[in-house]
Structure 1
Amino acid sequence: MSDTSVDGGTRAPAAVPAPRARRPAARSPRRRGPLNRLLASARYAAPALLGYAAVRAVGLVLLALWDLKHGTHSLHRLSTMWDAYWYQDIAVHGYAGSKPVPGPNGPYQAYAFFPVYPALIKLVWSLLPLPVNYAALLVAWVGALAAAWGIFAVAARLYGRRTGVIAAALWGVTPYAVVESMAYSELVFTAFAAWAMYAAVTHRWIWAGTLSTLAGLSRPTGVAVAVAVGLGAFGALVVRWWRRRDRKTKAPAWWRPVLGAAIAPLGFAGYIGWVGLQKGSWDGYFKVQEAWESQFDFGRSTYKVLRAMLMNAEPVWLTDAMVAGTLAASVLLFAVCVLQRQPLTLLVFSGMMLLLALGDAAYFNSRARFLIPAFALLLPLAAGLARLRTKGAAAAVLAFAALCSASYGGYVVFVYTNSP
């Protein structure tokens, strides 16, 4: 076609648009550096961490008010009471240098306590000008924040950010949340367990296995994390097999879940084996635990205590009633988790934690403390609170729960004579 117009004139050639300057391609989140990813993740989790810190601060303020009234020192007490002595003694003297303490069922020995928390105490104590008890408390509090972050990450991944924020705060207002302010290993363990669960639900199986190993070196209940990661990895392999049948869907590499499952139990099994070598017997760790009457009896001890509470006319301690209520509520919440079809890894983890708490023959009141890391049981409650339409309703519920938890925590720390 010519450039001549219909009236016989010559048509001017069309102007060619100047090429636009290309903007540099935005870097995807996966291509950002590790520090930038960490900062972005921290900003995303900030409301959850602030909410968790706020509800735990309520408990600390109440304990401080108790200090003013009775002339006690709550921080010192939180950092030294009950099992805190053992962790700090191991940090200072090591396992071989820690002296056994006579007990009614045999000597109490440091080998009953797993090594990660004492190792972290020793590290912080050697780096900072703090007494060992406050170094232990600092490690525990940092572990609690890391655990709240992991709980938020799991809940936000499955249910959304609002539910994640509420879940982290709910973990800070459980009846025995005062333990989250104490120099106990449950906090470091919960941090490893929560992030292991997050790695599992996001299919990062090698990370899940590594974190499971660290959890297994933190507490004996690390076996629950190992079993959960192992079965979750098996489920991932089954899904991979089904995807391979559909040639249009790319199946993930098979070796990642296999390797994750293989390394998951190494921490727990390794420490049990090491204690066995120190004691000259494969069951050396379990013999050490006999001094605390800690052994798995399939729930017979739990049944006897609950039956006595219901059948006997003797007065019941408030702590006994609270532990019994916590166990009953946990069983109910686990049933809800099953009905809501939580991911397999979370269900196995919660179920194993419940099984260990109900089936242990040790001191009855410790069962509620054993369930502190079972954060997935709280997810149905968090999701329900997140759906409340009334403005401020969820915040009001959490504030009231924080006051109740703080009041009961003060009772556990200053009134009740035995350990939680």
Structure 2
Amino acid sequence: MADGSLASTGSLASAVRRATTAILAPERWWVAVIAIFAASRVVTTSLLLWFASIQGQNPWTGPAPDYFSFAKIWDGHWYYIIALAGYPTELPLTDDGHVGENAWAFMPAYPFLVRFVMTLTTLDFAVAGVMVSVAFSLGAALLFYRVMHLVLPARTALFSVAIFCFAPLSAILQVAYAESMYLFLLTLALYWLMKRQYWMLFPVIAIMSLTRPSGLAFALALGLHVVYRWWIRRSEEFPPRERVAAVSATVFSLIMGFAWLLIAAAVTGSLSAYTDTELAWRASYVGYGELVPFAAWFQGAEFWAQWWRMPQWLLVVMVVAGILAFFVFLLTKPARRLGVDLRLWVASYALYLLAVFFPQSSTFRLLMPLFPLAGALALPQSRVYRGLLLAACIAGQWAWIHVAWWVDGYDWTPP
């Protein structure tokens, strides 16, 4: 009996090993990516359902909402308004005459696509929004493997996908937010950039720039890419046809970076409609003012220094040190393994964040486009390291949902 049990256990272990080897075979990379994605969604869905079960009454739902209702709170409600009613032609004003929070802060590609799915399927916004997000999330995971495999070995590329799928903010990949759609488009754009298929970038940039603010950051990355290719043209040919295509894509991305601002201005009659709307969200922290590039992080240092009761100069020093450390990291050996193009994107997007965004709890979500750095984190081969990293990611999911998504009374930490 004992021998039979041991034989059965050995057979089961052998079968599991064979199945794992088959799934992880390089020619079946898509099967492995789908398996990783599915496992990550089981974990994240379980966490979201648990938090939904203890969710109290809040501005968007009653107590203990179902999954789909819980998945469309916060900015999801703004996308719901846009999907059903579009954008206002007159900007709402506060009692003291400033532009208030309104739908112009959110770009149209995602809510309009969700509305299209709603029309085709007769599903309500919450269900259609989650379906669209999950579909784009899976597409982003599959594309991310292709991007990583251009610079990393197959197994390392797969672990990069695992980090992406289990990341602390990966809950945002299956709620009614535009991040999934944006990350899919960004990954596709990075893939075409790395493959030097510049003309293929045009439709991607057009939609991406109307999904999340990104046109200016991607234009900077493309411009730096053109400069780099020109600099190394003697060792890596940069033929005239590619120069024309790359420069054209750069100019197009720059134009698309201002497109939504101009659309908002045309509809509302106010040239500053979009920037005034964005500034309304930081007014509760630092009051109303003008958009001054690269000033927000230092304004934030003043606010958070008062909040945390620490010297402002110390927080400024910490911010500057963190910024310098980040850019120094991009020069290290692990980061260099990602290649020049991905690092140019990461640096460009980081500079864009420093130029225009105000640091608060939503900043963690805004850091998601830096996801190519998962490739650097995936380099160590230690199973212990990788297991601990994934465990930390799952713990991070719990912490982020608790702090940023789950609503606990008057909540000042939006996702």
**What TM-score comes out, normalization by structure 2 length?**
0.75
Q: Describe the shift of the 1:402–1:113 C-alpha distance in structure 2 as closer, same or farther (beyond 3 A).
A: same
Q: Describe the shift of the 1:305–1:360 C-alpha distance in structure 2 as closer, same or farther (beyond 3 A).
A: farther
Query: Which has the larger displacement, 231-240 or 249-258?
Result: 249-258
Cα distance between partner residues in 2 of 1:45 and 1:77: 31
The offset of 1:132, in angstroms, is 1.2
Cα distance between partner residues in 2 of 1:101 and 1:47: 51
The offset of 1:285, in angstroms, is 1.6
Cα distance between partner residues in 1 of 2:258 and 2:93: 26
In the alignment, which residue of structure 2 is the partner of 1:322? none
Larger radius of gyration: 1
**Would you say 1:278 and 2:267 are equivalent positions?**
yes
Cα distance between partner residues in 1 of 2:298 and 2:107: 26
The offset of 1:123, in angstroms, is 1.4
The offset of 1:170, in angstroms, is 0.9
Cα distance between partner residues in 2 of 1:239 and 1:127: 50
The offset of 1:46, in angstroms, is 2.9
In the alignment, which residue of structure 2 is the partner of 1:52? 37
**Would you say 1:290 and 2:279 are equivalent positions?**
yes
Question: Which of 217, 228, 241 pairs up with 1:235?
Answer: 228
In the alignment, which residue of structure 1 is the partner of 2:76? 84
In the alignment, which residue of structure 2 is the partner of 1:135? 128
In the alignment, which residue of structure 1 is the partner of 2:85? 93
**Would you say 1:154 and 2:150 are equivalent positions?**
no
The offset of 1:215, in angstroms, is 1.6
Superposed, 1:12-27 pairs within 5 Å as none
The offset of 1:290, in angstroms, is 2.3
Question: Which of 363, 367, 372 pairs up with 1:367?
Answer: 363
**Would you say 1:269 and 2:250 are equivalent positions?**
no
The offset of 1:404, in angstroms, is 0.5
Cα distance between partner residues in 1 of 2:65 and 2:406: 11
Question: Which of 377, 392, 400 pairs up with 2:391?
Answer: 400
Counting matched residue pairs gives 362
% same residue: 21
Is residue 89–residue 267 contact of structure 2 (8 Å, CA) maintained in 1? no
The offset of 1:363, in angstroms, is 5.9
The offset of 1:158, in angstroms, is 0.6
In the alignment, which residue of structure 1 is the partner of 2:201? 208
Give the AA of the match of 1:382. A
Is residue 93–residue 100 contact of structure 2 (8 Å, CA) maintained in 1? yes
Q: Describe the shift of the 1:53–1:234 C-alpha distance in structure 2 as closer, same or farther (beyond 3 A).
A: farther
Cα distance between partner residues in 2 of 1:50 and 1:331: 38
Instruction: Give per-residue Cα distances to partners, 1:58-101, cap 9 Å, x unaligned.
Output: 12112324455667235234432111111121111122489959
Over the aligned positions, Cα root-mean-square deviation in angstroms equals 3.5
In the alignment, which residue of structure 2 is the partner of 1:178? 171
**Would you say 1:380 and 2:376 are equivalent positions?**
yes
Cα distance between partner residues in 2 of 1:257 and 1:192: 18
Instruction: Give per-residue Cα distances to partners, 1:8-60, cap 9 Å, x unaligned.
Output: xxxxxxxxxxxxxxxxxxxxxxxxxxxxxxxxx99433312321331232121
Give the AA of the match of 2:31. A
Is residue 167–residue 394 contact of structure 2 (8 Å, CA) maintained in 1? no
Instruction: Give per-residue Cα distances to partners, 1:349-390, cap 9 Å, x unaligned.
Output: 212332343444546111111001211222210122xx22xx
Cα distance between partner residues in 1 of 2:185 and 2:321: 26
Give the AA of the match of 1:397. L
Query: What secondary structure, in the 3-state scheme, does the structure 2 residue paired with 1:80 have?
Result: coil
In the alignment, which residue of structure 2 is the partner of 1:344? 340
Question: Which of 61, 67, 78 pairs up with 2:46?
Answer: 61
In the alignment, which residue of structure 2 is the partner of 1:301? 299
Query: What secondary structure, in the 3-state scheme, does the structure 1 residue paired with 2:168 have?
Result: coil
Cα distance between partner residues in 2 of 1:330 and 1:338: 13
Instruction: Give per-residue Cα distances to partners, 1:318-339, cap 9 Å, x unaligned.
Output: xxxxxxx999988755533322
Give the AA of the match of 2:35. L
Is residue 198–residue 245 contact of structure 2 (8 Å, CA) maintained in 1? yes
In the alignment, which residue of structure 2 is the partner of 1:260? 249
Q: Describe the shift of the 1:97–1:271 C-alpha distance in structure 2 as closer, same or farther (beyond 3 A).
A: closer
Superposed, 1:325-336 pairs within 5 Å as 332=325, 334-336=327-329
Cα distance between partner residues in 1 of 2:197 and 2:137: 23
Give the AA of the match of 1:142. A
Give the AA of the match of 2:161. A
